[in-house]
Amino acid sequence: MTDPTVLPGGGPAGRATAVPDLAPGHRLARAAVVAALVLTATVPWLAWRRSHGAAADERARVADVAGGPLVRTTTVAVSPPARTLSLLGEARPWASVTLYAKVSGYLRSVQVDKGDRVHAGQVLAEIESPEIDRAWQGAKAEHDNKVAVAARMRTLLEKKLVSPQEAEQAITDAAVAGERLSALAAQREYETLRAPFDGTVTERFADAGALVQSATSSQTSAQPVCTVTQVSRLRVYVYLDQADAAAVHRGIRATVSVAERPGFRRLSEVSRVSGELDPRTRKMLAEVDVDDADQAIVPGGFVQVELEVPMARLPAVPVEALLTRDGQSMVAVVAPDSTIRLQAVHVAANDGKLVTLSSGVAAGTPVVMGPGAWAVDGARVRPAATGRTP
């Protein structure tokens, strides 16, 4: 039996009253009763709270549906004074010449190879043409003889031993022989091929000992000797669509970049424009001259060209705000009562990011970004935020 617990002031005259401890089984029964009472009170409260929260959520969903979808909006802005036109360009050498033989013969020597730097007037190859050499030697001998005869005829004319006509004929014959000798000397000069300008040898087509034919009549049957290109300065070719051709002219700022070299940019400007659309491609050629003394751009490769094209200040929206219905470009204008109105617009320019509009809406008009199939006249929306066209 357990010891009694004495409580102070329990009996008369302040005597302590002894209360016996409960048995362990009794304590467990008492705890179970308390837990049952708490559970009985909590479960109905939780059920009420859950049903009340579900009803509130349902009311919120109904309100959201009634208010329309949550949409992003932006404000129509005024387009910048210039737009960036990004085009793929082709880098070409400033000059490129394929050298052919002017006279027929055998290549005595080829003094350059691919990749060699050459200077204007430098000897590139020599041609051996025995026929021209023999003809020149014969013409020189004839010229020397004619000159000597003319000199004697002048002496005889002074002594009146020959007629003036005979003397004049001898002098004329000497002059004709001199011209013939000069013509053959010029042909002998063609036996030496020289670089027309400072540049780089990019092709070599023949070796020493090869027979080369004169290319004066046709280059298709003649074999070239080498190709010299000038790459210290490049011509970048870009082709403009008909819609952009009228806006591009000489002096427009151009930036040339190379995809293989991140961060590389070279500033220049449009140097020349052909002024006519190619009838085959319906595109117009524009050229941008670029200094490339450091060989940063490889000739013959593709580059990216950005042209700063001036444009009129017109209303503009991001391309995400544009939608098409039955072939007509439209924007969804947000009214003050949070309803939308589909407004037809006319697109003046589209660079893939910004759409310039020539008519339909004015600057400052709020429009929906990314309107979908749900966008119809009178549909309610809940604008999430209003921004301005960048």
Please give the order of strands across the beta sheet that includes 77-78: 77-78, 315-318, 354-359, 346-350
Whether the model pTM is above 0.85:
no
Q: What is residue 162's predicted lDDT score, i.e. its pLDDT?
A: 85
Q: What is residue 58's predicted lDDT score, i.e. its pLDDT?
A: 57
Could you give phi then psi for residue 101, rounded to 5 degrees?
Answer: -80, 135
Q: In the structure encoding, which two tokens stand for residue 61, read together?
A: 């969903």
Q: What is residue 43's predicted lDDT score, i.e. its pLDDT?
A: 63
Domain that holds residue 369: 69-100+227-390
Instruction: Return the CATH number at 79.
Output: 2.40.30.170
* Residue 183 belongs to a domain: yes
Same domain, 325 and 177: no
* Residues near 214 by beta carbon (within 8 Å), at least 6 away in sequence: 101, 102, 103, 104, 222
Same domain, 144 and 192: yes
Same domain, 202 and 83: no
* Residue 202 belongs to a domain: yes
Rounded CA separation 333/317 (Å): 12
* Residue 137 belongs to a domain: yes
* Residue 234 belongs to a domain: yes
Same domain, 142 and 197: yes
Residue type, 358: S
Instruction: Return the CATH number at 124.
Output: 1.10.287.470
Same domain, 115 and 176: yes
* Residue 217 belongs to a domain: no
Same domain, 232 and 365: yes
Residue 333, class by beta-carbon neighbours within 10 Å (0-12 exposed, 13-18 middle, 19+ buried)? buried
* Residue 219 belongs to a domain: no
Same domain, 110 and 198: yes
User: In the chain, which residues have pLDDT < 50?
Assistant: 1-19, 22, 62-63, 389-390
Q: How many domains does the chain have?
A: 3
Domain end, chosen from 188, 212, 236, is at 212
Q: What is residue 361's predicted lDDT score, i.e. its pLDDT?
A: 93
* Residue 144 belongs to a domain: yes
Half-sphere exposure for 220 (CA within 13 Å, toward CB): 0
* Residues near 99 by beta carbon (within 8 Å), at least 6 away in sequence: 124, 125, 193, 196, 224, 225, 226, 227, 228
Residue with tokens 């003394």: 293
Nearest to 370 by CA among 325, 320, 327, 326: 320
Domain end, chosen from 212, 242, 265, is at 212
Same domain, 300 and 236: yes
Same domain, 236 and 336: yes
Same domain, 117 and 256: no
Asked whether the beta carbons of 283 and 290 are under 8 A apart, the reply is no
Domain end, chosen from 179, 212, 245, is at 212
* Residue 242 belongs to a domain: yes
Same domain, 204 and 232: no
Beta bridge partners of 265: 257
Q: What is residue 387's predicted lDDT score, i.e. its pLDDT?
A: 52
Same domain, 207 and 235: no
* Residues near 201 by beta carbon (within 8 Å), at least 6 away in sequence: 112, 113, 114, 115, 116, 118, 124, 226, 227, 228
DSSP letters spanning 228-259: EEEEEEEEEEEEE-HHHHTT--TT-EEEEE-T
Q: What is residue 187's predicted lDDT score, i.e. its pLDDT?
A: 86
